[in-house]
Amino acid sequence: MGLPVVIFALALTTVAMALDNGLMRTPPMGWLAWERYRCDIDCDNDPKNCISETLFRDMADRLAEDGWRELGYTYVNIDDCWSSKKRDGKGRLQPDPKRFPGGIPELARYVHDRGLLLGIYGDLGTFTCMGYPGTTLDNIETDAQTFADWGIDMLKFDGCYSNATEQEKGYPLMSKALNATGRPIGYSCSWPAYQGGLPPKVNYTQLGEICNLWRNYGDIQDSWDSVLNIVDWFFNHQDILQTTAGPGRWNDPDMLVIGDFGLSLDQSRSQMALWAIMAAPLFMSNDLRTLNSEARTILQNKAVIAINQDKMGVQGRRLLKEKSEIEVFWRPLSNSDSALVFFSRRSDMPYRYTTSLGKLNYKAGSYKVYDVFSEKLMPGLSDTTDFTVSINPSGVVMWYISPLVPLSFRQNYRVSSLHGGLELPFPL
Which residues belong to the active site? 158, 219
Continuous segment of H or E residues that includes residue 410: helix 407-410
- Could you tell me where the beta strands, DSSP code E, fall in 124-159? 154-158
Sign of torsion, CA 19 4 237 77? negative
136: nearest Cα among 175, 166, 172: 166
Helix (H, G, I), strand (E, B) or coil at 231: helix
Helices (H), 182-315: 191-194, 204-210, 224-236, 238-241, 265-277, 293-299, 302-308
Sign of torsion, CA 384 390 391 393? positive
Tell whether omega for the bond before 253 is within 30 degrees of 0, i.e. cis. Answer: no
Provide the pairing of β-strand 29-32 with 75-77.
parallel
Q: Find all residues with CB under 8 Å of 348, minimum gap 6, and list them.
A: 393
280: nearest Cα among 373, 330, 213, 209: 213
- Would you tell me how many other CB atoms lie within 10 Å of the CB of residue 1? 8
Dist. CA 300–CA 67, nearest whole Å: 8
82: nearest Cα among 54, 41, 115, 112: 41
Provide the pairing of β-strand 213-215 with 250-252.
parallel
281: nearest Cα among 259, 301, 308: 308
Asked whether 286 and 258 are in contact (CB, 8 A), the reply is yes
Continuous segment of H or E residues that includes residue 403: strand 396-403
